Amino acid sequence: MTERLTSLICGTEPMNAVWSPRATLQRMLDVEAALARASAAHGVIPRTAVAAIAEACQADRLDAGALARDAALGGNLAIPLVKQLTARVKDIDPEASKYVHWGATSQDIIDTATVLQLRDSLALIEAGLDALCATLAGLARAHRSTPAVGRTWLQQALPVTLGLKFAQWLDALLRHRERLAALREHALVLQFGGAAGTLASLRAAAADVSATLAQELALAQPTLPWHTQRDRIAEAAAFFGMLIGTLGKIARDISLQMQTEVGELAEPAAAGKGGSSTMPHKRNPVGCAAVLTAAARAPGLVATVFGGMVQEHERALGGWQAEWDALPDLARLAGGALAHIGQIAGGLEVRPERLAANLDATQGLILGEAVMLALGDAIGRLDAHHLVEQASKTAVQTGRTLYDVLAANPAVTQHLDAARLKALLDPANYTGEAHAFVDAVLASNAKRAAPSSSQTHEE
């Protein structure tokens, strides 16, 4: 079983490795080995059987190709895995082979292995989020006061600051950090219920084996098995989907600001990156494209997981199985999108001259609201709106700046002199609470990043 040829366009080697065929098999085997240890600890199976079972629980000892073929007949990967594992154990210790997979059902092994892979994925996501948040905090701080055009409906609206845009990205990612912490608490739990979720096969030892198995795998123990209650997996899918969506928003902004006619931002340059097969002058936003590809795919994958939540009685017929590819794909896409945005943000090119030129593209029209409000204090809002609206139309029709038109109108200059007009038409003077908003997000990020007093004391 091999990776796709496109696996590194929208993914990363570390995240792909977490969900690789070999890692998937190994995590299932890790659960089988832990089950043997837990069962032996409470007298369910002989302690002498543990060593042989643990020794055989190595993915390299299994025939992955045969597992894939046999899974199509058995309906899941655990059935042929247990068959092969039992044979390997029998080669080492025939007596020990009698106790492989004791008390468990296939879904216990597959779900718990998935939870272990999810835990590995969240560790990678957390590291990527921390690094990206630090980078965006630096950008927001550096460009806190850099004027930029704010755009609504893809049209110029009012001035903002570039730092505010970076702070908005950062603020969203800080919420994802909170969601990640909650997801760990909710989803990183053992799945162990036996054939129908009662652990009847373990009789009086059931609770003790379950508790020890959870300890062996460093997972929380749920109140009860959750074979057909898939909210934990759905929450993980939703987390990945929302994270990808936020990263897609960042990629959309950067790619739009990277257009030739706009030219305010650019992805970092690198040898062989962003070129065209036919046009040597081009510098394509290839990192953004990979993230936007992930954002296009993610909603359907999340919907697949959500659609599979409606399951039948104590074991699903199709809904559970639909998760097997959808959740790994979401994790891979999230890891890849996060890595791409981290790389882009880390070397993002900011072009102040283009920011300034685009602010001046309307020759002052985007500051009409500022003039209107200042005039409104003297003549009333409605009259001021009419006056500035007419001045704006005249400026467009004659090709003059809004300042020139307003400065030639006595109805304006009797209330606003030249110096006041120029100040009102300076984008840097009409960014509202942008600076305060940036500062608030930076404070939130600093608070999250700072170690608590208990952590400091322990260190």
Whether 143 contacts 163, CB under 8 Å: yes
Burial of 71 (0-12, 13-18, 19+ CB in 10 A): middle
Please confirm, yes or no, whether 276 is among the known catalytic residues: yes
Show contacts of 317-321: CB within 8 Å, 24+ apart.
319/230, 320/107, 320/227, 320/228, 320/230, 321/75, 321/76
Of 151, 315, 351, 420, catalytic: 315
Q: Within 13 A of 39's CA, how many CA atoms are on the CB side?
A: 27
Contact 37, 216 (CB under 8 A): yes
Cβ atoms of residues 81 and 151 within 8 Å: no
Q: Catalytic pick from 47, 69, 276, 381?
A: 276
Is there a contact between 250 and 236 (Cβ–Cβ < 8 Å)?
A: no
The total of other beta-carbon atoms located within 10 Å of residue 181's CB is 12
Residue 203 annotated to the active site? no
Catalytic positions, please? Answer: 276, 315
